[in-house]
Structure 1
Amino acid sequence: MSIKVVVVDDDIMVREGMKIILSLDKEIEVIGTCSNGDEAFTFCQGNTVDVILMDIRMPICDGVLGTKKICSSYEKVKVLILTTFNDDEYIVEALKNGASGYLLKNIPPEEVIKAVKIVNEGNMLIHPSIAEKVPLLLKREEKKDFSKYNLQEIEIEIMRLIAEGYSNKEVSEKVFLSQGTVKNKITDILSRLNLRDRTQIAIFYLKNGK
């Protein structure tokens, strides 16, 4: 079964270009294009959508608000931000609103195809230059409530320290546990939350701590 994708961008050249690029892969089917977040939200009401490739700055309804509307109403739809804007505020808000990824338009076409497949599988994907910012962005956020995830306080603290860029050795010193115990805790966190690596722990901390 093909991955059903919608391309959302206010630039018709970008929309059509992305449609052509994605259509080169036989596992992907572009079922629609939209010029803003509201159009994408309306499109989801009458169609089965797997992944939305969403721009940020658009008239009427931008990508941040569009992501919030879509992700809060359609849990199975994955939103992948693809934009020219490496802006801290956009990054934080898009991820908080439920985006599964945030990429910049300077990546090669084959990387866009790969990204669509990755988020469709339920994984999160962040452009490398943006992933480096995550620890700093997290420090600006207010204390988060993870009660709904049934995590231990020590696990939340380990997640916070990982998000702020500390190594396992540094984490162990901060929480007064052996490195082996910290590694086991991290493994438990990854398994319980179905995450792949430390970067995804940091992203999860930002995205889900509401």
Structure 2
Amino acid sequence: MVSILLAEDQVLVRQGLKMMIETDPELQVKGEADNGKEVITLCEKNHFDLVILDIRMPEMTGLEAMRVIRKRWPALKILILTTFNDEAYALEALKNGANGYMLKDANAEELIRSIRSCLQGGLSIEDQVAAKVFPTLIQNNRTTEIDDTLTKRELDILVGVGQGLSNKEIADQLFLSIGTVKNHISVILDKLALRDRTQLAIYAIRHDIV
């Protein structure tokens, strides 16, 4: 059974979300919070697999709570669920470690699919939000220090992965063979202690590499 903490300051909305989530028999809302401070208190007392956070809540916002969670419980999955299709909010959430960003107009199937994606290590972003966020991420210059263990060639390949290019597209762009690109990606995964290409793309986005 997947244990979920649901944070939403509007009681009726929270009850509706809980009913939607629990249409999946493997998902159970075992904690409810009105604000970010309650989220932290509940995390201190209980184990949760995933926390669903609204952005605007009294006393402590969802984004503020998320930053605390990332420091204290880094393995806890976080899904932002909000009414705000706002580029700034979405960028801040993703860069601070959100595993997903969904809008409240999603139906039960979409919400459960996003929860499942977060739990499996994916990055679930509402299509409308992704349309605003990804062009900005791709256009941004790198602002963080790049891992010193990566070579220039490995960094170039990481940029391609972060931009969503296939191995063939990266190979064509860098004048390499597909096999060479695959080998480089395997080495990069080992160096960064990441599991797969999806995690590599998320790494690139969150570290402003693309």
**TM-score normalised by length of structure 1:** 0.83
Alignment of 1:55-70 (within 5 A): 55-70=54-69
2-structure distance, mates of 1:163, 1:80: 21
1-structure distance, mates of 2:135, 2:38: 34
Cα displacement (A) at 1:202: 3.4
Aligned twin of 1:194:
195
In the alignment, structure 1 residue 206 sits paired with structure 2 residue 202: no
Contact 1:19 1:30 in 2 (8 A): yes
Provide closer, same or farther for how the CA distance between residues 188 and 127 of structure 1 changes in structure 2, counting only shifts above 3 A. Answer: farther
Contact 2:142 2:208 in 1 (8 A): no
Provide closer, same or farther for how the CA distance between residues 105 and 61 of structure 1 changes in structure 2, counting only shifts above 3 A. Answer: same
Cα displacement (A) at 1:166: 4.9
Alignment of 1:2-151 (within 5 A): 2-132=1-131, 133-147=133-147, 150-151=149-150
| SS of match in other structure, 2:28 | strand
Runs of 4+ in 1 over 6 A off after TM superposition: none
Provide closer, same or farther for how the CA distance between residues 107 and 141 of structure 1 changes in structure 2, counting only shifts above 3 A. Answer: farther
Q: CA RMSD in A?
A: 2.7
Contact 1:70 1:77 in 2 (8 A): yes
Moved more, 39-48 or 150-159: 150-159
2-structure distance, mates of 1:188, 1:127: 31
Contact 2:94 2:206 in 1 (8 A): yes
Provide closer, same or farther for how the CA distance between residues 188 and 125 of structure 1 changes in structure 2, counting only shifts above 3 A. Answer: farther
Cα displacement (A) at 1:170: 4.9
Cα displacement (A) at 1:140: 2.4
Cα displacement (A) at 1:6: 0.9
1-structure distance, mates of 2:8, 2:150: 38
Contact 1:102 1:127 in 2 (8 A): yes
| SS of match in other structure, 2:180 | helix
1-structure distance, mates of 2:18, 2:164: 37
Q: Which amino acid letter does the alignment assign opposite residue 134 of structure 1? A: F
| SS of match in other structure, 2:155 | helix
2-structure distance, mates of 1:87, 1:141: 21
Contact 1:50 1:78 in 2 (8 A): yes
Cα displacement (A) at 1:184: 4.1
Tell me the alpha carbon deviations over residues 124-143 of structure 1, each in whole angstroms, 9 at most, x when there is no partner. 22223333432422432533
In the alignment, structure 1 residue 177 sits paired with structure 2 residue 176: yes
Aligned pair count reads 206
| SS of match in other structure, 2:60 | coil
